[in-house]
């Protein structure tokens, strides 16, 4: 529970939250101070436009992540708004309208809005707003083009309060969407402190039980079998372009097993092979390796949180918003990443060795 507490002679007293008079008031606050939004990965948001026409509707706010070039759709709703429960439909509809646009078309769409802010283009707006020389116009344009082409968006819903059913829906959408779409819900509560209005934002993170939400699940009749030979044999059957990364991931898993950090199991599905480096004595692992038309690695965040929280913090810093639940890691699986994952297995082993001593 987030709130503001006032210290009095008789003890701490919770300040009473003040309602927003109109939706526009909260809308204005987000537009002026997008940095207040506590989003995963802590992206730098640059606001591009307000009430932007996308198809038959108007998106409340459109922004872009300075680091990734990824477009951000922001919708603002108050509890008094009768269509608040339709906010996800609206937001996803706006994202679908942007999907497939070229970077030039996106720039043209936002140009009138960006011009009102004193900038000739999106890229130059980002350069000016960030202001530290870290943004390259050509690089940002290329990232933005790739995000639009691949449908990589962040959708943010800002509310004054989130009812239980909306939180449950948020958790479901976060669980079933793939790594190309991030859906975040933020509540903003207003208080009066010494005659000044204070806003307290909070990221809503629904409690979720682990679900099999990998982009392509293993058939229900598949059964894990001890060992890695079937997975190793499958590499020769895949496209030659994918064999080297698959062998690299297999070699990494074999090293875990040789160091007694993991026990390997293989599951064979229809046209796919899954290698699971389980924690010794457990039926779960920190990651899953896939041979499924390519080489993929899926983290299990709930297991990281329970078994290797210290390494998880380092991974979150190195791979912002990549260590989730059953998603595919999209960043390069280089030696530094594999070394961090090895450290996670070592931390988990040390934790259980310490518990057993």
Question: What is the bridge-based pairing of β-strands 57-65 and 45-54?
Answer: antiparallel
Helices (H), the chain: 23-32, 87-98, 103-116, 122-130, 137-150, 164-176, 229-235, 240-258, 301-307, 309-318, 335-356
Domain 23-204: state its class: alpha beta
Domain boundaries, the chain: 23-204, 225-356
Which are the contacts of 302, defined by CB distance < 8 A and separation ≥ 6? 210, 325
How far, in Å, CA of 216 to CA of 218, rounded? 7
Return the pLDDT at 217.
44
How far, in Å, CA of 208 to CA of 337, rounded? 26
Sheet holding 153-159, edge to edge: 45-54, 57-65, 71-77, 153-159, 181-193, 196-204
Which are the contacts of 293, defined by CB distance < 8 A and separation ≥ 6? 238, 239, 242, 271, 272
Return the pLDDT at 81.
66
User: pLDDT by residue for the chain (357 residues), tens digit each?
Assistant: 456 777 777 778 778 888 888 889 999 999 998 989 998 888 899 999 999 999 889 999 999 999 999 999 999 998 776 565 688 888 999 999 999 899 999 999 999 999 999 999 999 999 998 888 888 888 899 999 999 998 999 999 999 888 777 788 888 888 777 778 899 999 999 888 878 888 989 998 876 433 333 333 444 445 688 999 999 999 988 888 889 999 999 999 999 999 999 999 998 876 788 999 999 988 889 999 999 888 999 998 889 999 999 999 999 999 998 898 778 888 889 999 999 999 999 999 998 887 654
Return the pLDDT at 84.
59
Closest CA to 163 of 134, 204, 192: 204
Question: What is the bridge-based pairing of β-strands 153-159 and 181-193?
Answer: parallel
Contact 18, 192 (CB under 8 A): yes
Q: What residue has token string 């606050």?
A: 29
DSSP state, 329?
A: P
Return the pLDDT at 74.
96
List, as one string, the DSSP characters of 185-219.
EEEEEEEEETTEEEEEEEEE----------SSPPP
Closest CA to 292 of 270, 267, 272, 275: 272
Closest CA to 61 of 103, 96, 32, 101: 32
Residue 146 in tokens? 């790739």
Output phi, psi for 38, to 5 deg. Answer: -85, 75
């Amino acid at each position: 529970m987030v709130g503001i507490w006032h210290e009095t002679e008789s003890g701490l007293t919770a300040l009473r939250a003040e309602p927003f008079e109109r939706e526009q008031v909260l809308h204005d606050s987000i537009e002026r101070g997008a940095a207040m939004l506590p989003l995963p990965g802590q992206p730098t948001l640059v606001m591009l436009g307000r009430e932007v026409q996308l198809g038959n509707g108007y998106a409340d706010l459109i922004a872009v992540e300075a680091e990734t070039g990824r477009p951000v759709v922001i919708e603002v709703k108050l509890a008094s708004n009768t269509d608040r429960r339709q906010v996800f439909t609206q937001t996803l509809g706006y994202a679908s309208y942007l999907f497939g646009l070229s970077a030039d078309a996106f720039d043209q769409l936002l140009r009138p809005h960006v011009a009102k802010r004193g900038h000739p283009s999106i890229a130059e707006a980002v350069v000016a707003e960030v202001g530290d020389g870290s943004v390259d116009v050509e690089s940002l344009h290329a990232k933005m083009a790739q995000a639009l082409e691949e449908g990589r968006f962040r959708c943010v819903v800002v509310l004054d309060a989130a009812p239980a059913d909306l939180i449950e829906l948020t958790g479901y959408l976060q669980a079933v969407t793939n790594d190309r779409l991030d859906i975040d819900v933020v509540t903003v509560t207003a208080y009066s402190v010494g005659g000044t209005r204070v806003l307290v934002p909070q990221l809503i993170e629904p409690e979720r039980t682990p679900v099999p939400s990998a982009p392509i699940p293993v058939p229900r009749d598949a059964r894990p079998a001890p060992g890695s030979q079937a997975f190793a044999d499958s590499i020769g059957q895949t496209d030659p372009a994918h064999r080297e990364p698959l062998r690299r991931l297999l070699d990494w898993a074999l090293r875990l097993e040789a160091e007694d950090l993991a026990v390997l199991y293989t599951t064979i599905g229809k046209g796919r092979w899954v290698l699971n480096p389980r924690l010794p004595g457990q039926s779960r692992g920190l990651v899953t390796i896939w041979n499924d038309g390519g080489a993929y690695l899926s983290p299990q965040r709930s297991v990281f949180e329970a078994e290797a929280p210290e390494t998880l913090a380092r991974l979150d810093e190195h791979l912002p918003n990549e260590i989730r639940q059953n998603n595919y890691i999209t960043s390069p699986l280089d030696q530094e990443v594999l070394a961090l994952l090895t450290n996670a297995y070592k931390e988990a082993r040390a934790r259980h060795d310490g518990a057993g001593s």
